[in-house]
Amino acid sequence: VTRSVDSAQSLIERVRAGHVPSIARMISRIESGSDGVVEQVAELYRLGGDARIVGITGPPGAGKSTLLTSLVRELRARNKTVGIIAIDPSSPFSGGSILGDRIRMGELYHDPDVYIRSMATRGALGGLTRATTDAVAVLDAAGKDVVLVETVGVGQDEVDIVRACHTTVVVSAPGMGDDVQAVKAGILEIADIHVVNKADRPDANRTIRELKTMLKDAGELSTGGWKIPVLATVAEDGKGVDELVDALERHYDHLVASGEMEERERTMAAHRLKTIIQNVALDRIEDPSIGPDFDDAVEDVRLRKRAPFTVALDLLEGSV
Ligand SMILES: Nc1nc2c(ncn2[C@@H]2O[C@H](COP(=O)(O)OP(=O)(O)OP(=O)(O)O)[C@@H](O)[C@H]2O)c(=O)[nH]1
Ligand SMILES: [Mg+2]
């Protein structure tokens, strides 16, 4: 027992030192729910809190992964260490390819100050999983200056990413068709920074104008003293990426100076707690060794013997 405590301790120390294989092992332990991982994550969580967490979201194919690669290059040029969690889009909406990303980000895998990890998307209740947010906490505790979280902006993830990050960057691209209007409408209010990627395309200016008009109409060009920038990038050759890093730094300074940082971190903590409570409650309710039988409860509701709300409360009480 002493030995496993020792090795658990040294794993945490190696993670803290930014040791790449140890970070990888720690995240694998999280993914597989290994013994003692809850305590390890708890310790790492207490040790973290210094990283800037930046969410990158947007419709499939907008160029998020390519932009991420250029963004990391620019951050490294400014001596920042970087962690990346790419939420593996198993959704049918996305053409996201891990293999493609690996080739695209290939050079980054050789830099010991960059750590990249793809993780499966969605828990039982949708959105970012506990494993994903725990992995962010690991990279934070590992001393990464910036942790980037890439998600495909369709549905619940869009809202979730805001509740897990200090700054949210929404990436769109020109010529994505009418449905991009709906996507934009859904993600308009979550962006701290808008990026129109593929600015090398001739129709990029129109997209930028449209986006600015939409923001203006929604009265959201500026919130809490922060003027939401609409930036143009060509992720493939890095054009506009230094302006994006400047904007990220300005936003961070704004959060600190305005006191909004505290508010965001409160939102992040509250959301994490709520998500965990939901997951734990559901796990317990569905575990027949703990509470009343879930399948029996389902039958009672199906046969209308008892009302869903009553049954749900009974299950919750029986599970504690
Ligand atoms: N012309 C042009 N093409 C780009 C640019 N950035 C990315 N692309 C291309 O757009 C395609 C999609 O790029 P990705 O980076 O995989 O896009 P993504 O948003 O990560 O895609 P998903 O992960 O599938 O949602 C690729 O073929 C890229 O080479 C750009 O600035 N200009
Ligand atoms: Mg991608």
User: Which ligand places an atom closest to the C-alpha of 61?
Assistant: 1
Encode the chain (320 residues) as per-residue pLDDT tens digits. Answer: 556 666 777 999 999 999 999 999 999 999 888 999 999 999 999 999 999 999 998 888 889 989 999 999 999 999 999 999 988 665 444 444 555 566 666 777 788 999 999 887 654 444 567 888 999 999 999 999 999 998 876 555 556 777 889 999 999 899 766 555 655 566 777 889 999 999 999 999 998 998 888 888 877 666 678 989 999 999 999 999 999 999 999 999 999 999 999 999 999 999 889 888 888 888 888 887 776 788 999 999 999 999 999 999 999 887 66
Q: What pLDDT does residue 151 have?
A: 83
**Alpha-carbon gap, residue 89 to 120, rounded angstroms:** 7
Q: How many angstroms does the Cα of residue 239 sit away from the middle of ligand 1?
A: 14
Residue 281: burial class (beta carbons within 10 Å; 0-12, 13-18, 19+): middle
Asked if 89 and 96 count as a contact pair (C-beta separation under 8 A), the reply is yes
Q: Give the percent of the chain with pLDDT over 70.
A: 82
Q: How many angstroms does the Cα of residue 7 sit away from the middle of ligand 2?
A: 36
User: Which ligand places an atom closest to the C-alpha of 67?
Assistant: 1
Q: Read off the tokens for 1.
A: 């027992």
Report which protein residue has its CA nearest ligand 1's atom 9: 63
Q: From residue 88, how far is each of 111, 121, 197, 212 by CA, in Å? A: 22, 5, 21, 30
**Alpha-carbon gap, residue 20 to 284, rounded angstroms:** 35
Backbone φ, ψ for residue 222 (5° rounding): -145, 125
DSSP alpha helix (H) spans, the chain: 2-16, 20-32, 37-47, 64-77, 98-104, 130-141, 156-162, 179-187, 204-217, 241-258, 260-286, 294-302, 308-318
Whether 240 lines ligand 1, by a CB cut-off of 6 Å, is: no
Q: From residue 264, how far is each of 17, 31, 164, 229, 252 by CA, in Å? A: 28, 27, 9, 19, 11
Report which protein residue has its CA nearest ligand 1's atom 10: 63
Whether 151 lines ligand 1, by a CB cut-off of 6 Å, is: no
| Three-class HEC string of 62-94 | CCHHHHHHHHHHHHHHCCCCEEEEEEECCCCCC
Whether 152 lines ligand 1, by a CB cut-off of 6 Å, is: yes
**Alpha-carbon gap, residue 64 to 170, rounded angstroms:** 9
Whether 83 lines ligand 1, by a CB cut-off of 6 Å, is: no
Q: From residue 64, how far is each of 12, 67, 97, 184, 185 by CA, in Å? A: 31, 5, 12, 15, 19
Residue with tokens 């509701």: 301
Whether 84 lines ligand 1, by a CB cut-off of 6 Å, is: no
How many alpha carbons fall within 13 Å on the CB side of residue 285? 18
Q: What pLDDT does residue 104 have?
A: 63
Q: Read off the tokens for 289.
A: 């060794």
Q: What pLDDT does residue 156 have?
A: 57
Residue with tokens 């140890």: 22
**Alpha-carbon gap, residue 179 to 186, rounded angstroms:** 11
Q: What pLDDT does residue 108 have?
A: 76
Ligand 1, closest atom to CA 201?
Answer: 1
